């Protein structure tokens, strides 16, 4: 102890080599005597390990947990032959039957008892009085190994009225440093650990259920079940072997946190918006999993003394936040801002990526206290493309917390844009009040660029300088009350226009010198007098 992260088992086990044996053991159907049952199971088993495996497989798939007997122990027999014939028992009976079957097979086996963090366990609770669970140790290859066939066979529902067979490989020859997580034997020698843990250690240690390890997760911080906030904040991180997706719930919602995915895990900062005790659950699933199901892998209690009101996040913020291996897979490479939060003092920021092939991007800005229409939300963001680089230039309409949402689709797809990820943008400067960018029309090509004027709102009665980067066109005009041509030099179209006497200014292009037809590409508003 602590676990060296090498293997989930206490000896090398190749599960593929067991496939035939497992399938055989499941089919054995002998109920009249334990001796006959063991004899039948051992027909296909040569080594001691194979014998133990066959016995384990049979018990895990044929004995169900007796929820009725658990509530009414006087009616219950844990004698191995009764367990075999009724096909049901509680942990005591599972462990007793296992011990007797091993003994018939000529394998040393012990029945152990102790405390467990199983059904009904409450985080942070203490353990007193009699032991509440039983399991086994078997002697293989010169060492003792631990297993729990009760927990290997399945689980009971929350109301403890129904048992469901659900085989769990985790509890077969579990590494002792992992077994101690939820099994504390009466005799500490049977922890099979150096150093042994005290009951206090066992009570305080974080409960990692088997999902945690089966999903390839390695460690979680903090390692205690109760976390106290410091200045309204608590942090949790998880390390894992391979790309894993995470979600969380604090008191049933994911609004009050900021979760970022890391290559080998995740980091979560929690900012509860109420004082008191809150349950925090963390869920995970492998990135390759097709189904939507996340498994609960960790539970904490967060004790919150004070609330940090400044860290109240917009409703539209979606977890996880910021770029990650996941957004890279979607074609957003080399982000200029690797962190989930972008702070801006003057209300402006610019986010760049290298884009994968054939990707079209859509971005929008959201905030809780904003009256912006859908269209204006997009117009506070300007996309600039240079080769395979995209820049998102953002001018905030006011101070506060904003969500920058980024969507994408394949250019070759006609369908909708898919949501990819989001950033949190914060601005505390109450002076900030940027107008939207000019409105662009469909003829404004992706790789065109506005150098000036960037503001979609022009001053009245002024000469305004225009500088636009456009290619493949014959003529550019700016139409205010009068029409002003722009001249081309070194790839830019430049010139001035006067805004007197008009409310709107349009930029128009002639795609072909022989046509008299102009297309609108940009529209500016003019300030009222």
Is 62 designated active site? Answer: no
Q: What whole-number distance in Å separates Cα of residue 474 and Cα of residue 510?
A: 5
Position 28 scores a pLDDT of 96
Per-residue pLDDT of the chain (529 residues; tens, 9 = 90+): 778 888 999 999 999 999 999 999 999 999 999 999 999 999 999 999 999 999 999 999 999 999 999 888 887 889 999 999 999 999 999 999 999 999 999 999 999 999 999 988 888 889 999 999 999 999 999 999 999 999 999 999 888 889 999 999 999 999 999 999 999 999 999 999 999 999 999 998 888 889 999 999 999 999 888 899 999 999 999 999 888 999 999 999 999 999 999 999 999 999 999 999 999 999 999 988 777 789 999 999 999 999 999 889 999 999 999 999 999 999 999 999 999 999 999 999 999 999 999 999 999 999 987 777 888 889 999 999 999 999 999 999 999 999 999 999 999 988 899 999 999 999 999 999 999 999 999 999 988 999 999 999 999 999 999 999 999 899 999 999 999 999 999 889 999 999 999 999 999 999 877 777 889 999 999 998 7
How confident is the model at residue 224, as a pLDDT? 86
pLDDT of residue 141: 96
In 3D space, the residue among 322, 304, 474 whose CA is nearest the CA of residue 403 turns out to be: 322
Residues in the chain, overall count: 529
pLDDT at 76: 86
Q: Who contacts 371 (Cβ-Cβ below 8 Å, separation ≥6)? A: none
User: pLDDT at position 182, please?
Assistant: 94
pLDDT score, position 324: 96
* Pairing relationship of beta strands 257-262 and 265-270 according to DSSP bridges: antiparallel
CA 321 to CA 405: how far, in whole Å?
10
Q: Active site residue: 62, 66, 91, 208, which one?
A: 91
d(CA 101, CA 218): 34
Quick one: pLDDT at residue 370? 76
Q: What is the dihedral of CA 65, 67, 70, 73, to 10 degrees?
A: -100
Residue with tokens 């996040």: 313
Q: H/E/C letters for each residue in 193-205?
A: CCCCCCHHHHHHE
Q: What's the rounded Cα separation, in Å, for the pair 465 and 505?
A: 13
Is 240 tagged catalytic? no
DSSP helix/strand/coil, 109:
strand
Tell me, what's the pLDDT at 75?
79
pTM score, two decimals?
Answer: 0.83
pLDDT at position 371 is: 79
**Candidates 22, 66, 148, 269; catalytic one:** 148
Candidate list 62, 133, 145, 208, residue with the active-site label: 133
Q: What pLDDT sits at residue 513?
A: 72
Catalytic residue list contains 133: yes
What would the DSSP string read from start to end of 130-194? S--EEEEEEEETTEEEEE-HHHHHEEE-TTS--EEE---GGGEEE-HHHHTTTEEESSGGGG--S
């Amino acid at each position: 102890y602590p676990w060296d992260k090498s293997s989930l088992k206490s000896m090398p086990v190749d599960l593929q080599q067991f496939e035939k044996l497992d399938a055989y053991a499941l089919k054995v159907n002998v109920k009249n005597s334990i001796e006959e049952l063991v004899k039948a199971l051992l027909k296909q088993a040569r080594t001691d390990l194979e014998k133990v495996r066959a016995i384990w497989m049979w018990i895990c798939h044929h004995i169900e947990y007796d929820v009725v007997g658990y509530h009414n122990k006087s009616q219950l027999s844990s004698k191995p032959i009764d367990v075999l014939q009724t096909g049901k028992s509680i942990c005591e009976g599972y462990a007793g039957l296992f011990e007797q079957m091993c003994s018939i097979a000529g394998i040393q086996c012990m029945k152990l008892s102790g405390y467990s963090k199983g059904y009904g366990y409450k985080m942070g609770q203490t353990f007193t009085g009699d032991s509440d669970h039983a399991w086994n140790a078997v002697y293989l290859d010169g060492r003792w190994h631990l297993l729990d066939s009760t927990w290997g066979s399945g689980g009971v529902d929350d109301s403890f009225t129904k048992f469901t067979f659900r085989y769990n490989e985790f509890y077969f020859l579990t590494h002792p440093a992992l077994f101690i997580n939820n099994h504390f034997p009466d005799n500490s020698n049977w922890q099979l650990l150096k150093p042994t843990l005290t009951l206090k250690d066992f009570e305080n240690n974080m409960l990692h259920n088997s999902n945690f390890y089966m999903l390839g997760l390695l460690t979680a911080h903090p390692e205690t079940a109760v976390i106290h906030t410091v200045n309204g904040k608590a942090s949790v991180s998880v390390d894992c072997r391979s790309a894993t997706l995470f979600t969380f719930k604090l008191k049933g919602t994911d609004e009050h946190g900021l979760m970022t995915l890391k290559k080998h895990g995740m980091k979560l900062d929690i900012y509860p918006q109420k004082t008191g005790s809150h349950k925090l659950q963390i869920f995970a699933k492998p990135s390759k999993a097709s189904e939507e199901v996340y498994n609960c892998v960790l539970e904490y209690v967060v004790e919150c003394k004070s609330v940090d009101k400044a860290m109240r996040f917009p409703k539209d913020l979606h977890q996880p936040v910021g770029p990650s291996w996941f957004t890279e897979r979607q074609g957003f490479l080399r982000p200029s801002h690797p962190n989930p939060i972008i702070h801006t003092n003057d209300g402006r920021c610019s986010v760049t990526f290298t884009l994968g092939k054939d990707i079209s991007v859509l971005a929008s800005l959201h905030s809780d206290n904003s009256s912006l229409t859908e269209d204006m939300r997009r117009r506070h963001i300007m996309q600039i493309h240079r080769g395979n680089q995209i820049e998102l230039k953002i001018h905030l309409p006011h101070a506060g917390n904003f969500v920058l949402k980024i969507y994408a689709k394949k250019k070759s797809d006609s369908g909708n844009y898919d949501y990819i990820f989001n950033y949190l943008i914060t601005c505390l400067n109450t002076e900030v009040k940027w107008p939207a960018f000019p409105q662009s029309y469909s003829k404004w090509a992706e790789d065109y660029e506005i150098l000036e004027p960037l503001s979609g709102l022009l001053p009245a009665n002024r000469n305004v300088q225009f500088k636009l980067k456009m290619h493949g066109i014959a003529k550019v005009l700016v139409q205010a009350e009068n029409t002003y041509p722009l001249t081309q030099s070194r790839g830019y179209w430049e010139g001035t226009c006067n805004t007197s006497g008009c409310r709107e200014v349009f930029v128009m292009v002639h795609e072909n010198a022989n046509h008299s037809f102009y297309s609108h590409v940009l529209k500016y508003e003019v300030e009222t007098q």
